[in-house]
Amino acid sequence: MINSEEKLYVAHSDHPLVLEPKMANRHGLIAGATGTGKTVSLQVLAESFSDLGVPCFMADMKGDLSGVYKAGELTKFIAKRQEQFGVTFEFQPYPTQFFDVYGEQGHPMRVTIKDFGVLLFSRIMSLTDTQEGVLNAVFRICEDKNMPLDDLKDLRAALNYIGQNAKEFQTEYGNISSVSVGSIQRNLLALEEQGGNQFFGLPEFDIDDFFSVEKMNGIKKGMINILAADKLYNNPKLYSAFLMWLLTTIYNKLPEVGDMDKPKFIFFFDEAHLLFDDASKALMEQIEKVVRLIRSKGVGVYFITQNPMDIPENVLGQLGNKIQHALRAFTPKDQKAVKAVAQSFRANESFDTEKALLELETGEALISFLDEKGAPTIVERAKMLCPQGQIGPITEEERRTAIKESGLEKKYGETVERESAYEMLIKESEKKKKEEEERRAQELAEKEEAKRKKEEEKEAKAKAKKSASSSTTWYGKALTSIAKTLGNKLVNEVIKKMK
Ligand SMILES: Nc1ncnc2c1ncn2[C@@H]1O[C@H](COP(=O)(O)OP(=O)(O)OP(=O)(O)O)[C@@H](O)[C@H]1O
Ligand SMILES: [Mg+2]
């Protein structure tokens, strides 16, 4: 909900608590144990941003965020809060677009292998540094050879080709060991099993589609983009790499804007701990960098997680707006975490932060937002407002209607196949095969010709010999007898003279 000053009215202590729109790009955190109200708080924030005309993106873990598509209904819980706060919630639907990497519960979101990039790839495939180096070389070779890497079969074909011709590329691109190529190929198999075939390819998702604004009841509302993540969540590496790719794409697309009256876009990162679980140093640096720099592009990133300690310190330190729901303290480790979380707030003299953290009811939270000057406000114990959209999921049929009516189905519904590395390498190998066949045929023809010539020569020689020996028989004999007669005559003459 937004108040008369166009500020985000999201919670109430004994007075309304508002989030300053111009501080909304200083990022935020929604934390709390399971069932304490994190998802509903996320919905309240997203609806308020939409009311302000700011589009947002969120990953929906259990399908329960889909409710924003429909107007909510009055419940006892909500009626009580209306009374406590002295406000009336106008139940209303919000402009919603559904996406799904697997294309089942929303428009497919595809990305080409090339645009996804080596870093995120090596993250989802847990590649070693050497393997990542080989993958990097494969990407560069394909780039230099103008072979688009669109989908997994392109990457597979490129790996095969480069692996088989490794020597040819070695000087320019470094060592490409067949062992590394082999293990990348095995990893690709696992990725295919995780649904990589649906995810990588064309048409590529156009980030502009996130930024739409729709007029509803005469007010321009920001689009709420929901990614169905229940299936994706079971492939945590793909989930975190995909969201990281989205964030980086938004970052690369938007220009620097500095401080603005309100953000351009809000990105909600649910189950945020997945992003950091066994992330490589390079990926961790990338996350930190994007979170730090995306602020000046007018984008706010909100992390949602059970325990704030799941988020690395230098990311946590950048999250200015905090909604902390109840924590549980069953183990010494939990108790330590509760202490640390309590200490991260500016204390409020009217209550004990640490104690309050353990007492908070569902939909109640400790809240500290950044004030107009960017300083964190003193922590307040407050009840969250209720969503104006429905709490909980919509039906399958309602989802189908939303998908059909969104206007994006035509753009993303069908996969597009163009001539890319796979097709080009098939063509090249067919060309090579044909050339090899032609070369062999030529070689054979030449051999036959040589054989034929040799036989001809042999025949000619034999003929010549034959004719030579037959000529010796008649004039040879004649010559011998002539010589003989002449010889006898000569000898007789000499004898006569001697006598
Ligand atoms: N602000 C609120 N207004 C109305 N109802 C709320 C509010 N916050 C929480 N609730 C109620 O509490 C229930 C649980 O809240 P929610 O699903 O947000 O918890 P959660 O912390 O996201 O849990 P989990 O960790 O299991 O995902 C909701 O289904 C809703 O009925
Ligand atoms: Mg939840």
386-406: b (≥16 Cβ within 10 Å) or e: bbbbbbebbeeeebeebbeeb
Q: Which domain holds residue 480?
A: 433-499
Pocket test for ligand 1, best of 1, 39, 44, 81 (most atoms within 8 A of CB): 39
Q: Whose CA is nearest to atom 13 of ligand 1?
A: 37
Same domain, 274 and 361: yes
The CA 38 to ligand 1 mean position distance, Å, reads 6
* The ligand 1 atom nearest the CA atom of 363: 8
Please, are residues 159 and 138 in contact by the beta-carbon 8 Å criterion? Answer: yes
Query: What ligand has the least distance to the C-alpha of 326?
Result: 1
How far is ligand 2, taken at its centre, from the CA of residue 38, in Å?
Answer: 5
Residue corresponding to tokens 């070389």: 137
- Span from the CA of 41 to the centroid of ligand 1 (angstroms): 8
Residue whose CA is closest, atom 8 of ligand 1?
A: 363
d(CA 321, ligand 1 centre) in Å: 19
- Confirm or reject: Cβ of 307 under 6 Å from ligand 1: no
One domain for residues 210 and 190: no
Q: Is residue 421 part of a domain?
A: no
Smallest CA separation from ligand 1 atom 31, residue: 391
Nearest ligand to residue 270 Cα? 2
- Considering the domain boundaries, does residue 437 fall inside one? yes
For residue 14, the SS3 value is coil
What is the predicted pLDDT for the residue at 223? Answer: 97
Same domain membership, residue 258 and residue 164: no
Q: Which atom of ligand 1 is nearest to the CA of 37?
A: 18
Q: Tens of pLDDT along 340-392?
A: 999 999 999 999 999 999 999 999 999 999 999 999 999 999 999 999 999 99
Determine whether the shortest distance from the Cβ of 137 to ligand 1 is under 6 A.
Answer: no
Q: Please give the distance, rounded to the nearest whole angstrom, from the Cα atom of residue 43 to the centre of ligand 2.
A: 10
Task: Pick the last residue of a domain from 412, 445, 461.
Answer: 412
In degrees and rounded to multiples of 5, residue 370 shows phi and psi of -80, 140
Q: Which residues surround ligand 2, an ion (CB under 5 A)?
A: 38-39
pLDDT of residue 114: 95
> How far is Cα 413 from Cα 33, in angstroms, rounded to an integer?
38
Question: Are both 269 and 384 inside the same structural domain?
Answer: yes
Count of structural domains within the chain: 3
Kindly state whether residues 213 and 356 are assigned to the same domain: yes
C-alpha 262 to ligand 1 mean position (Å): 27
CATH number, domain with residue 400: 3.40.50.300
Q: Specify whether 347 is located in the same domain as 212.
A: yes
Residues 130 and 147 in one domain: yes
Give the residues of the chain that fall short of pLDDT 70.
Answer: 470-488, 490-492, 494-495, 497-499
- On whether residue 418 sits in a domain, the answer given is no
Residue 161 belongs to some domain of the structure: yes
Is residue 424 situated within a structural domain? Answer: no
Q: What is the largest CA-CA distance in the chain?
A: 173
427 within a domain of the structure (yes/no): no
Query: To test ligand 1's pocket by mutation, which of 10, 40, 361 has the most ligand atoms within 8 angstroms of CB?
Result: 40
- Residue recorded with tokens 């509803």: 216
Query: Last residue of a domain, which of 382, 412, 442?
Result: 412
Q: Which residue puts its alpha carbon closest to atom 6 of ligand 1?
A: 363
Q: What are 21's two structure tokens?
A: 């729109």
Residue 363 beta carbon below 6 angstroms from any ligand 1 atom: yes
| 132, 122 Cβ separation under 8 angstroms | yes
Domain finish residue from 198, 218, 247: 198
The CA distance from 102 to 238, in Å, is 12
Which residue, by CA, sits nearest to atom 7 of ligand 1?
Answer: 363
Residue 423 lies in a domain: no
What would the pLDDT profile of 273-307 be if each residue is shown by its tens digit? 888 887 777 778 888 999 999 999 999 999 999 99
Secondary structure letter of residue 302 according to DSSP: E
Distance CA 56, CA 95 (A): 11
* Within a domain: 417: no
Say yes or no: CB of residue 386 within 6 Å of ligand 1: yes
Indicate if 152 and 276 belong to the same structural domain: no
Are 260 and 344 found together in one domain? yes
Distance from Cα 35 to the centre of ligand 2, integer Å: 7
User: Which pLDDT tens digit goes with each residue over 202-233?
Assistant: 999 999 999 999 998 888 999 999 999 988 88
- Asked if omega into 393 is within 30° of 0 (cis), the reply is no
> If DSSP codes are grouped into helix, strand and coil, which group holds residue 182?
helix
Specify the length of the chain in residues.
499
With a 6 A CB cut-off, is 38 part of the ligand 1 pocket? yes
Both tokens of 397, joined, read: 């049929």
Please tell me whether residues 368 and 255 are part of one structural domain.
yes
151 and 78: one domain? no
pLDDT at residue 472, as a whole number: 59
- Left (φ > 0), alpha (ψ -120 to 50) or beta: where does 355 sit? alpha
Q: Is ligand 1 within 6 A of the CB of residue 84?
A: no
Q: What is the number of the ligand 1 atom nearest to the C-alpha of 34? A: 25
Distance from the alpha carbon of residue 35 to the mean position of ligand 1, in angstroms: 6
Same-domain status, 254 and 349 = yes
